[in-house]
Amino acid sequence: MAFAAQFAGVYLNFSPDDAASRSRKLGAFLAEGMDPQMGWDGYGKFAAVAIQPYDIEASDAHNALVSVAFQSGPRRLMLSVPLYYSGDEAGGRFAVVGRPAVLPAPGPADVPQVAAPETDEATASELKEQLKGFFTDYASGDAAGLQRYVAAGRTLPSFGGTFTFRELKKVVVPVGGATREIQAVVVWVVPNSETPATPDATDPAAVGGTLEMAYRLTVEKQGDKWFVADIRGAGRVVG
């Protein structure tokens, strides 16, 4: 699958200016006697990015069709690549043995609805100010400040200034005890290449933009305050 993805990176990117270079590069992948341009007449341009192995369908111990996913402009597509494998006793080598085929990629899955959990609005309100401080220091890399919001005996790494905290947009807190698994939607300030992000900047050109991300946090109540014990990606946000 890795061999097919490497091949796709060469095969799917071409223009008349690099026809000779493309042909030489394809030679590293093709079985002997195959067309060095793989059916391309030397005209037109095509570009592909985000090339990743997707699936493999083996017909026997030596032959398979490998599907590679890629993006071209606004479209997500697939490339089907016929491969031959020599076997371990012959050096474990691969070769492309036929014309590839571009196919439409599958569309998004139909996702069933999930019931929202029973929420604890009082605890959510209690947590909001604490989480604003946590995410501010989590973004900035202020280790001492961050530790004020982290549960005793725990340490958490930070972004170290990659983003800047802008807003805590949503907090979902299920009903429970002194330890909860909560979800938070955070708005980060994304800096442009020239200007550092600042929490109070208002000019989008200066800020560079904002980006919403969702997190799942384990929070623990110690005394009369909530503290963060763990943070990771939220998965599917509900509620």
Beta bridge partners of residue 187, listed in sequence order: 167, 212
- On whether residue 114 sits in a domain, the answer given is no
Ranges of residues in the chain whose predicted pLDDT is under 50:
none
Per-residue confidence (pLDDT) for residue 10, from 0 to 100? 97
| Model confidence, pTM | 0.74
Query: Residue 79 has which token pair?
Result: 């490339």
**Residue range 131-187, pLDDT digits in tens:** 999 999 999 988 899 999 999 989 898 888 888 999 999 999 999 999 999 999 999
- On whether residue 58 sits in a domain, the answer given is yes
Strands 164-172 and 101-104: unpaired
- On whether residue 111 sits in a domain, the answer given is no
Do 203 and 170 share a structural domain?
Answer: yes
Per-residue confidence (pLDDT) for residue 236, from 0 to 100? 75
Do 83 and 57 share a structural domain?
Answer: yes
Shortest CA distance to 198 belongs to which of 165, 168, 167, 169?
A: 165
- On whether residue 239 sits in a domain, the answer given is no
CATH number of the domain bearing residue 39 = 3.10.450.540
Do 133 and 96 share a structural domain?
Answer: no
> Average model confidence (pLDDT) for the chain?
91
Q: In Å, how far are 2, 23, 72, 196 from 102, measured between CA atoms?
A: 18, 19, 11, 42
- On whether residue 22 sits in a domain, the answer given is yes
The one-letter code for the residue type at 73 is: G
Per-residue confidence (pLDDT) for residue 90, from 0 to 100? 87
Domain count, the chain: 2
Beta bridge partners of residue 107, listed in sequence order: none
What is the domain range of residue 214? 121-233
